[in-house]
Amino acid sequence: MSQSRTSTPSTPDRTHVTTNVIRGCLGNLVEWYDWFAYATFSIYFASVFFPKGNQTAQLLSTAVVFAVGFFMRPLGGWLLGVYADRYGRRRALTLSVTLMSAGSLTIALAPGHDTIGMGAPALLVLARLVQGLSVGGEFGSSASYLCEVAPPGRRGFYSSFQYVSIVLGQLIALLVAIGLQNLLTEAQLHSWGWRIPFVIGAAAGLVVMYLRRTMEESEHFRREQARTAAQDPASRERKGLISLFAEYPRQLIAVFGLAIGGTVAFYTYTTYLQKYLVTTAGIPKSTVTVIGFAALFVYMLLQPAVGAVSDRIGRRPVMFAFSGGCMLLTVPLMTLLGRTGNPWLAFLLMTVALTFVSGYSALAAVIKAEMFPTKVRALGVGLPHALVTATFGGLTEPIALALKDTGQESLFFWYVTGCVGLTFLATLVVKEPSRASHLDATQASPAAPQPPKTAPLT
């Protein structure tokens, strides 16, 4: 059968697209709010869930539970990715936010160690397992949906709002923390105040669950369903994990390479850097909180601008700007940040670093989604991203702290540079995804074939 590439579906109304994008992003915002709320408020609820005694041991226990959530992400990327490719993006996105809301509600209502003993940490672990599954499955489904509902020529712009919602979730969690710290006493926060952010997250999740149930399924998925239904069951194409590994191994390797440097840089400059400014630069915690909030706010605003630029000049030039810039600047930037005690200079340097990271994060959804056909898109985007996040992302801060503890802190700067170098190499071997996009290779009829599997790569 001959392979064909036909025109994309008709361009939808801008208001129509915007409504669907907002519904897709709101769930992402809630999920990341919940994720960061745990990290932010763990200092207050550690003594509730774990036996009384050494505070450091209690905090370490909550940190281990947090890490457990990271390592559930690949399972979520796999299971919810397969679910999204088989039953639809809308269903998968609704399920993921429901799981996150259930996890938050469990944490909010769970009795403490004094009441149910070891059942308390067991409930906390269960909630984090569910939330890790949720976050792991959210990225691939959300990325696929945002790219599929966006009109051709504007996919970089619209899909960049995925990271807008991620950063906004982090900022809202930080604002809730600042508000509660000013409204409640330290004793009230330790006693019951820490439950409030999880109640907020659970309630918001229920609202978003309703909104997602009412949003439209993407036309790409509807066409894929129709195409599959028209096939002879005896010769129906494989889908799922077997299809992904057997038919798209080069795309998978490319996505791994693209994600490694971006993930390590993202966690370095959005999460670890705030601890680095306190412990190495010696800037007061309250000042670092303001610096981080301001820099992250600028970073959030940069996402749609960088996404729009990629629609005009292509994905590869933007990715080269990210990877090349971070390779050259990570060591000098981190060195200067560690030596400055000036809050304004620290803000400027952090903003410069995040500006370069925007070259990855604004494109993280679209550059990967363009490499896979509809039948495995959510799985192809979500699984490798979750694996990289669970390993490289989850280990970024422990590696940095371990090297600092041994007096070799500067080696961490080179570690980040090396990871970004892998992304630079991956960008070299990938053809311009926006010009060889599976998103543009829609079917003229339900029975039309998929585009060439090797199109996005050299």
Q: Is residue 9 part of a domain?
A: no
Q: Is residue 220 part of a domain?
A: yes
Task: Output Rg (C-alpha) for the chain, integer angstroms.
Answer: 22
Q: Is residue 447 part of a domain?
A: no
Closest to 223 measured CA to CA, from 2, 458, 452, 444: 444
Q: Widest CA span of the chain, in angstroms?
A: 71
Our count of domains for the chain comes to 1
Closest to 180 measured CA to CA, from 171, 189, 172: 189
Going 246 to 250 to 254 to 257, the CA torsion angle's sign is positive
Q: Is residue 309 part of a domain?
A: yes
How far is 35 from 384, CA to CA, in rounded Å?
20
Angstrom CA distances, 115 to 46, 106, 276, stand at 15, 15, 38
How far is 93 from 79, CA to CA, in rounded Å?
12
Contact, 357 vs 266, CB < 8 A?
Answer: yes
Tokens of 118: 């070891």
How far is 293 from 79, CA to CA, in rounded Å?
34
Location of structure tokens 């600028």: 298
Those residues whose C-beta lies under 8 Å from the C-beta of residue 167, and which sit 6 or more positions away, are 270, 296, 299, 300, 303
Q: Quick count: other Cβ atoms within 10 Å of Cβ 253?
A: 14
Q: Quick count: other Cβ atoms within 10 Å of Cβ 344?
A: 9
Q: Is residue 57 part of a domain?
A: yes
Those residues whose C-beta lies under 8 Å from the C-beta of residue 371, and which sit 6 or more positions away, are 248, 251, 254, 255, 380, 430, 433, 438, 456, 457
How far is 158 from 145, CA to CA, in rounded Å?
11
Query: What single-letter DSSP state applies at residue 256?
Result: H
Query: What single-letter DSSP state applies at residue 111?
Result: -
**What domain range includes position 387?**
14-226+239-440
Dihedral of CA atoms 197, 272, 426, 67 in degrees, nearest 10, equals -60
pLDDT means per 10 residues, the chain with 458 residues, are 41 72 84 81 80 64 73 90 90 89 90 86 88 87 88 89 90 88 87 91 88 82 79 67 87 92 92 85 84 92 95 93 95 93 93 96 91 89 90 85 86 95 93 73 44 44
Contact, 278 vs 288, CB < 8 A?
Answer: yes
CATH number, position 180: 1.20.1250.20
Angstrom CA distances, 189 to 46, 81, 214, stand at 12, 38, 37
Q: Is residue 455 part of a domain?
A: no
Give, rounded to a whole angstrom, the gap between the first and last alpha carbons of the chain.
Answer: 24
Residue 447: the pLDDT is 42
Residue 34: the pLDDT is 84
Closest to 49 measured CA to CA, from 108, 137, 135: 108
Residue 456: the pLDDT is 46
Angstrom CA distances, 69 to 125, 131, 296, stand at 8, 7, 23
Q: Is residue 5 part of a domain?
A: no
Q: Quick count: other Cβ atoms within 10 Å of Cβ 242?
A: 10
Those residues whose C-beta lies under 8 Å from the C-beta of residue 286, and which sit 6 or more positions away, are none
How far is 73 from 423, CA to CA, in rounded Å?
21
Q: Is residue 4 part of a domain?
A: no
